[in-house]
Structure 1
Amino acid sequence: MQNPNISILKTEILSDNWYTLNKVTYSITKKDGTTETQSREAYDRGNGAVILLYNKVSGTVILTRQFRLPTFINGNPTGMLIEACAGLLDNDNPEDCIKRETEEETGYKISKVEKVFEAYMSPGSVTEILHFFIAEYSSEMKIANGGGLQEEGENIEVLELSFNDALAMIESGEVMDAKTIMLLQYLRIKSIV
């Protein structure tokens, strides 16, 4: 149901280079009944999906490492980030998207995924909803090296880590990606691995 206290007055495109940055002017009726006009910027990059692959028998998980410019310009000296496999939906449904991304990025071909939740990752400025998945993997599912698509400029390193080492990397600061932390903690809370 649409919020009756919010009315969009104007939307201006500030940038449409990589994704779309809009300036949205809206009126909001506050709790005291007064109405105020406000402007905010919202970055629309589409919705995405993320998955954490785990192996109960070996007690391992599959993560990736790649360069992330925003982290580099905000103090990450190498710009490298360890993450769970993820990607934008690109007009796919979340399940098909994450199966495709898993194969492209990690080289594992999975057929069964379990959706665990959805979350807004940065709701103050980004419109994206992220669909979170987990899936079991085995060595027999490895059909390629992974690494992402060259035409998308991806240069992804695939990491197979013990689940306990991955959890410890949160505390040490080696894993700083929110979606990855959320999925690792999910596996921990549910005692899946």
Structure 2
Amino acid sequence: MNNNKVKILKTEILSDNWYTLNKVTFEYQKNNGTLETQSREAYDRGNGATILLYNKESETVILTKQFRLPTYINGNADGMMIEACAGLLDKDNPEECIKRETEEELGYEISDVKKVFEVYMSPGSVTEILYFFIAEYSKSMKINDGGGLEEEQEEIEVMELDIEKALEMIDLGEIKDAKTIMLLQHVRLKGIL
């Protein structure tokens, strides 16, 4: 992390409950050469990975449905979100993380995953990079019911949807999660499904 136009002057922890919210004061050299002191808050929740499982033969995808408090607070009537499987890396590399999350949340044991891109999901306020994967699945890969981990207070419904239905759900506003929309559009634009 070296940018000659930026000099970090001070970092203050504003909150360290669930993840870390920092206030960073820095000096920034503008394009005209002048220096400006700025302060920004940056939420550090770690990096994550997400995956879309797809089946070419049945033209289906596996998604999850779970309660998300921030969406409820912001007007999502029941707080439920339909999403692609995802999780924080913790200390794993992205590929190992997403294999673990796929088993915990979806109940599928996968071995071949393909990284398609990585994205800063909210670069104005969150430090997280999200690694996006896709993988083909079959019924034979199902090893448990999924649903997440009780000790992580997860209660996840696993959904197998026709790709056309999933894409229609975006248009109808039933799928509003950015990572999920990006992955569904990726498999369509690339001709995978």
Which band: TM-score by shorter chain? over 0.9
Consecutive unaligned residues of structure 1, counting only runs of 5 or more, are none
Q: CA RMSD in A?
A: 0.6
Aligned to 2:154: 154
Using the alignment, how far apart are the partners of 2:45 and 2:6 within structure 1?
Answer: 23
Residues 49-106 of structure 1 show CA distances to partners (whole Å, capped at 9, x for unaligned) of: 0000000000000000000000000010010000000000010000000000000000
Shift of 1:36: 0.6
Aligned to 1:111: 111
Displaced runs of 4 or more, over 6 A? none
Aligned to 1:42: 42
Aligned to 1:17: 17
Using the alignment, how far apart are the partners of 1:20 and 1:43 within structure 2?
Answer: 6
Count of paired positions: 193
Consecutive unaligned residues of structure 2, counting only runs of 5 or more, are none
Aligned to 2:144: 144
- Fraction of identical pairs, as percent: 74
Using the alignment, how far apart are the partners of 1:86 and 1:56 within structure 2?
Answer: 21
- Paired residue type of 1:92: D
Aligned to 2:85: 85
Aligned to 2:130: 130
Which moved further from structure 2: 28-37 or 121-130? 28-37
Query: What TM-score, normalized to structure 1?
Result: 0.99
**Partner secondary structure for residue 127 of structure 2:** coil
1:162-177 to structure 2, matched below 5 A, reads 162-177=162-177
Shift of 1:166: 0.3
Shift of 1:162: 0.1
Shift of 1:164: 0.4
Query: What TM-score, normalized to structure 2?
Result: 0.99
**Partner secondary structure for residue 161 of structure 1:** strand
Aligned to 1:72: 72
Shift of 1:33: 1.1
- Paired residue type of 2:106: T
- Paired residue type of 2:58: S
Aligned to 2:187: 187
1:6 aligns with 2:12: no
1:32 aligns with 2:32: yes
**Partner secondary structure for residue 186 of structure 2:** helix
Shift of 1:107: 0.4
**Partner secondary structure for residue 122 of structure 1:** coil
**Partner secondary structure for residue 179 of structure 2:** helix
**Partner secondary structure for residue 24 of structure 2:** strand
**Partner secondary structure for residue 122 of structure 2:** coil
Shift of 1:42: 0.3
Shift of 1:177: 0.2
